[in-house]
């Protein structure tokens, strides 16, 4: 498996299919509008919001600029508090740690906190191949797992489903007696299903929203409480943390625990904010393993423009505001990281020549940059990655076409002849003043674009006809 596996066809084909699903668009429109309104209200309460954003940007820039030293500092702090640190250059290395810990505890299953990092490395699939079952405990992740689907949103993985669809899924799987589609009843069915798993769990797996280099503290924020069950009840806890999730100092949490909940869920603070440092006698797991995941991050860090994407705190505000995401949904991006941030993060993690269509999944309206809590200039990185894609994988036909056009435009007589030819040829595909269907190999280009008709005469011809 690759660093960041791709699912399904490239974005253009996947998006075209998604646009023909009216139920998907209705579900997305309702959910993203609600989240956007809540975020706007929560942000509007903070007079110094822009100062907080700037401080968040500054802290993340400092982290990425001195990442190697901070990772070593984090390792020392975790070990000093009784934890074990594992370095995972690739996805398989991180999954192997979870597998080894589970086997050491005689476990045939693990309970999981919602974690994009574990989705990125396809942990569930890797464990299943070794005979272990991973149980998703986040409600939305559980919905996706039961439905055999991938997550479609960074924060709300099942945003593409409405409550009627979810209730029907539960009746087919974990709650055959469920006779309601009320959210409280759906949540109660999930709670009853998960409670036994929590009580028998020997190993828990989590991601990390933040890891503090100064103290070795890991932080997870969530809304349901399932995460706290996973991180406190099992005998052993394995946290898989992307190396970019670091914060230098304990006091930096003050900034990010204001930025994240308001940007993500429109709340002043998350209902559950769990922090732990190593292990403590008689309190929580007896073993703590911190897996520091690279999986392409150091390569992204080496990109002077793209490295800024590693500052992302996974709030999903850019998804909820993006006109492209709101119409295509997350599955069209073919990655665990959808939306504007996914359109830059996925190609950076996969490397040049991979996911080259994703940077084009944007109108460059800059709404994503306006709402980003750490001021990532997403449009700038999108343009940068488009340039990289052209430099590394421009189709030969496109290059030949551009050279031909350059030759035509460089000579006045050739240009005039081309105009006359285009005027005659356009009769094939022109409709209501627009050219909507170009012939032959150009048909693929016009499938998603249209041009105004070539004028009946040029200005020079009109001027000459007046005897001037």
R_g of the chain computed on alpha carbons = 26
- pLDDT in the model for residue 431: 64
Q: Residue 58 is encoded by which pair of tokens?
A: 């500054």
Sign of the four-CA dihedral 393, 348, 93, 339: negative
Q: pLDDT, tens digit, for every residue of 198-227?
A: 999 999 999 999 999 999 999 999 999 999
Q: State what percent of residues in the chain have pLDDT above 90.
A: 79
pLDDT at 52 over 80: yes
- pLDDT in the model for residue 430: 62
Tell me where in the chain the CATH 3.40.50.10420 domain(s) lie.
46-137+201-298
Q: Is 375 helix (H, G, I), strand (E, B) or coil?
A: coil
Q: pLDDT, tens digit, for every residue of 94-131?
A: 999 999 999 999 999 999 999 999 999 999 999 999 99
Cβ-contact 156, 325 below 8 angstroms:
no
Q: Roughly what angle, to the nearest 10 degrees, separates helices 49-65 and 67-80?
A: 90
Helix %, strand %, coil % of the chain (to 5) = 55, 10, 35
Give me the architecture of the 46-137+201-298 domain, per CATH. 3-Layer(aba) Sandwich (3.40)
Q: pLDDT, tens digit, for every residue of 19-28?
A: 999 999 999 9
**Per-chain mean pLDDT for the chain:** 92
Q: How far apart are CA 336 and CA 312, in angstroms?
A: 14
The total number of residues shown for the chain amounts to 468
Between β-strands 217-222 and 203-206, what pairing exists: parallel, antiparallel or unpaired?
A: unpaired
Q: State what percent of residues in the chain have pLDDT above 70.
A: 94
Residue 263: C-alpha distances to residues 52, 255, 289, 427 (Å): 12, 12, 30, 51
pLDDT at 397 over 80: no
Q: pLDDT, tens digit, for every residue of 274-329?
A: 999 999 988 899 999 999 999 999 999 999 999 999 999 999 999 999 999 999 99
Longest Cα–Cα distance of the chain, Å, equals 99
Burial of 19 (0-12, 13-18, 19+ CB in 10 A): middle
pLDDT at 1 over 60: no
Distant-in-sequence, close-in-space partners of 166: CB < 8 Å, separation ≥ 6: 143, 158, 181, 186
- pLDDT in the model for residue 195: 93
Q: Measured in Å, how far apart are the chain's first and last C-alpha atoms?
A: 69
- Report DSSP state, residue 335: S
Cβ-contact 257, 221 below 8 angstroms:
yes
Between β-strands 109-112 and 203-206, what pairing exists: parallel, antiparallel or unpaired?
A: parallel
Listed residue (132, 134, 192, 143) closest to 172, CA to CA: 143
């Amino acid at each position: 498996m690759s660093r960041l596996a791709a699912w399904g066809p490239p974005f253009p084909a996947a998006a075209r299919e998604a646009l023909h699903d009216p139920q998907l668009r209705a579900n997305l429109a309702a959910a993203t509008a609600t989240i956007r309104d809540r975020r706007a209200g929560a942000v509007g309460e903070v007079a110094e919001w822009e100062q907080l954003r700037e401080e968040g940007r500054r802290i993340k820039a400092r982290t990425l600029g001195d990442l190697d030293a901070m990772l070593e500092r984090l390792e020392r702090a975790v070990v000093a508090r009784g934890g074990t640190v594992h370095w995972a250059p690739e996805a398989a290395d991180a999954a192997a740690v979870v597998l080894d810990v589970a086997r050491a505890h005689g476990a045939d299953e693990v309970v999981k906190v919602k974690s994009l990092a574990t989705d990125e490395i396809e942990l569930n699939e890797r464990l299943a191949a070794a005979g272990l079952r991973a149980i998703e405990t986040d409600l939305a992740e559980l919905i996706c797992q039961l439905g055999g689907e991938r997550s479609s949103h960074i924060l709300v993985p099942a945003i593409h489903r409405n409550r009627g669809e979810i209730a029907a899924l539960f009746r087919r799987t974990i709650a055959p007696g469920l006779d309601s589609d009320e959210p409280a009843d759906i949540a109660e069915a999930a709670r009853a299903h998960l409670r036994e798993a929590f009580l028998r769990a020997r190993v828990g797996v989590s991601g990390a929203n933040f890891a503090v280099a100064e103290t070795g503290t890991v932080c997870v924020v969530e809304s349901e409480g399932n995460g706290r069950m996973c991180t406190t009840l099992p005998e052993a806890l394995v946290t898989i943390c992307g190396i970019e999730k670091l914060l230098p100092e304990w006091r930096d949490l003050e900034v990010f625990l204001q930025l994240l909940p308001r940007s993500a869920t429109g709340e002043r603070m998350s209902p559950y904010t769990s922090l732990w440092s190593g292990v403590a006698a008689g309190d929580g797991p007896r073993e703590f393993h911190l897996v520091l995941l690279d999986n392409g991050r150091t390569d992204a860090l080496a990109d002077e423009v793209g490295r800024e994407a590693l500052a992302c705190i996974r709030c999903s505000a850019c998804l909820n505001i993006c006109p492209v995401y709101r119409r295509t949904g997350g599955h069209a991006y073919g990655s665990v990281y959808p939306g504007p941030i996914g359109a830059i993060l996925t190609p950076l993690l996969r490397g040049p020549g991979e996911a080259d269509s994703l940077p084009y999944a944007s109108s460059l309206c800059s709404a994503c940059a306006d709402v980003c809590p750490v001021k990532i200039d997403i449009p700038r990185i999108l343009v940068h990655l488009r340039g990289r894609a052209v430099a590394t994988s421009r189709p030969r036909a496109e290059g030949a076409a551009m050279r031909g056009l350059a030759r035509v435009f460089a000579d006045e007589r050739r240009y005039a002849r081309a105009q006359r030819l285009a005027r005659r040829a356009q009769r094939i595909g022109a409709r209501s003043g627009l050219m909507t269907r170009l012939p032959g190999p150009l048909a693929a280009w016009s499938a998603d674009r249209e041009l105004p008709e070539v004028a009946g005469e040029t200005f020079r011809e009109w001027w000459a006809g007046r005897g001037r």
